[in-house]
Amino acid sequence: MKKEIRHFHLFCGLGGGAKGFNAGEARVGSMEAEFRCIGGVDNDAAAIADFGHAAGTPGTVLDMFSREQFEAFHGREPSADWQEATPEDIQRAAGGERPHIVFLSAPCKGFSGLLSQTRSTTPKYQALNGLTLRGVWLMLEAWKDDPPELVIFENVPRIANRGRPLLDQIGALLEAYGYAVAETTHDCGELGGLAQSRKRFLLVARHQEKVPAFLYEPTKRPLAAVGDILERMPLPGDDTAGPMHRVPRLQWKTWVRLAFVEAGGDWRSLNRLAVEDGHLRDFLIVPEYRAGYLGVNRWSRSMGTVAGRNTPSNGGFSVADPRFTASSQWKDGQAYGVRRWEGSTGTVTGQQAAGQGAFSVADPRHHGAPKHNNCFRVVEWCREARAITGAHGAGQCVADPRGGNYSGGYGIVDWTEAAGTVAGESFPSNGKFCVADPRPAMQRSKGDHYLTGGHYGVVPWTASTGAVSASACHDNGHWSVADPRGLAEQALEGEYLPAATDRLVAMIQSLDGTWHRPFTTLELAALQGLMDPEEQLELDGLSDTAWRERIGNAVPPPAAQAIASMMAETLLLAWSGETFVLSATPVWVRPVAAALALPGGAAA
Domain presence at residue 586: yes
Provide the residue type at 478 as one letter: H
* Among 154, 54, 56, 64, residue whose Cα is nearest residue 101: 154
State the residue range of the domain holding 75.
2-230+537-601
Cα separation, 522 vs 590, whole angstroms: 39
* Among 16, 60, 389, residue whose Cα is nearest residue 192: 16
In sign, the C-alpha dihedral spanning 335, 340, 346, 349 is positive
Which CATH number covers residue 186? 3.40.50.150
**What is the DSSP secondary structure assignment for residue 170, as one 8-state letter?**
H
Domain presence at residue 308: no
pLDDT in tens, 384-405: 665 555 444 444 566 666 544 4
In sign, the C-alpha dihedral spanning 567, 568, 574, 577 is negative
Domain presence at residue 274: no
Percent of the chain at pLDDT exceeding 90: 31
31-42 and 2-10 beta bridge pairing: parallel
The answer to whether the beta carbons of residues 151 and 205 sit under 8 Å apart is yes
The answer to whether the beta carbons of residues 550 and 14 sit under 8 Å apart is yes
Domain presence at residue 525: no
Cα separation, 560 vs 23, whole angstroms: 9
pLDDT confidence tier of residue 222, bands split at 50, 70 and 90: very high
Domain presence at residue 347: no
| Overall residue count recorded for the chain in this entry | 604
Domain presence at residue 211: yes
Domain count, the chain: 1
Cα separation, 467 vs 462, whole angstroms: 16
C-beta atoms surrounding 552 within 10 Å: 17
Q: Is the pLDDT of residue 443 over 60?
A: no
Task: Give the up-direction half-sphere exposure of residue 478: CA atoms within 13 A in the CB hemisphere.
Answer: 13
pTM for the whole structure: 0.66
Domain presence at residue 499: no
pLDDT in tens, 330-352: 434 445 778 888 888 878 877 66
Domain presence at residue 260: no
pLDDT in tens, 479-503: 788 776 554 444 444 456 788 898 9
